[in-house]
Amino acid sequence: MSDDTQQPIVVKRIKKGGGGHHGGAWKIAYADFVTAMMAFFLLMWLLGSTAQGDLEGIADYFQNPLKLAMQGGEGTGDSSSIIKGGGEDLSRKVGQVRRGDTPSTRAINLDAAPARVKSEAEIAAQAIAERRERARLIDLKGKLEAVIEANPSLRQFKNQLLIDIVSEGLRIQLVDAQNRPMFTSASADLRPYTRELLREIAAALNDVDNRVSMSGHTDSAQYAGGERGFSNWELSSNRANAARRELVAGGLEAGKMLRVVGLADTAHLNPGDPLDPANRRISIVVLNRAAEEAMRSQQAPGATPPPGGAQVGRNPADMRGSPGIVPAPN
């Protein structure tokens, strides 16, 4: 039995939110679209950076994924996959490539980039050092020329003092003239003005740290006197060593002398005239760093002697009496 006095209770449920016109479903769809586009572009990037052989191998695998498993054997492809197949060379079309069938040709050197940067830095530093060294040698050249010009007794010999920059460093040559030789004829006795020239040069050479190399040269006139077998080889060697002793007497540090060699008539200053007096000379080279290192490597034990009979790199005790070279003092 109903009670007319009771009123029905009406409950209104108000749904809050709802996202306006379209709700929140569009956000999910947009996120799916962005994800798909990202996957698409990632796939395009992978395909663009993959070699053609790898692409062919991947295509063959997806066309018949069990083919490699049925025809192949043990190898790297089945080490982490349920289906046997793969291998190191995906460009192979038949069977699986066993480990060791194809030698690995790809190597990753993690130190390659730092090594390249270091090498470039070393090259740049070496170039700067070479420019500074060349500048010092040019300054030394100017100083020598100024010293000779300032000395009235030596100024008359400036045409017999040839100073130039060569690949080995600064070369100073004392050459003979027709009526003004640097040595007594057919001997290693220095003329008085030659001694004075060498002493002035010695004082200037101490201004740089570079080592020094000396060589004696003669013309092609055959040596006519002296002991049996004595030749231009011995004469050029004796003259070079006499000039070395005079440089040391003039104040040159003995340790700066790296090599003293006699070359006889094998390196003419004037090749067109083998009897030209200018071919009789003493050559002093202030060595740059590269030339010094090259010379030291030639003098190392076991080094191959250079052609022409010059005996470089032997023990000084073994070179006594050798016509081609005079050892520098220790």
Asked if 69 contacts 93 with a C-beta cutoff of 8 angstroms, the reply is no
Give the model's pLDDT for residue 12. Answer: 72
CATH 3.30.1330.60-classified regions of the chain: 138-326
Residue closest to 89 by CA, chosen among 104, 74, 73: 104
Yes or no: say if 96 and 77 are a contact pair by the CB < 8 Å rule: yes
- 278: nearest Cα among 178, 131, 147: 178
121-153 burial: b if 16+ Cβ within 10 Å, else e: eeeeeeeeeeeebeebbeebbeebeeebeeeee
Q: What is the mean pLDDT of each run of 10 residues along the chain (330 residues)?
A: 67 62 76 92 82 73 64 46 49 51 52 59 86 89 88 84 91 89 90 91 88 93 70 92 94 91 92 91 93 83 46 34 37
Which pLDDT does position 75 carry in this prediction? 42
Q: What is the pLDDT of residue 76?
A: 41
Across 3-16, b (16+ Cβ under 10 Å) vs e yields eeeeeeeeeeeeee
Confidence (pLDDT) at 105:
53
Which CATH fold would you assign to the domain 138-326? 60s Ribosomal Protein L30; Chain: A; (3.30.1330)
Structure token pair of residue 186 = 């057919």
pLDDT of amino acid 330? 34
Q: Output the pLDDT for position 68.
A: 54
pLDDT in the model for residue 314: 35
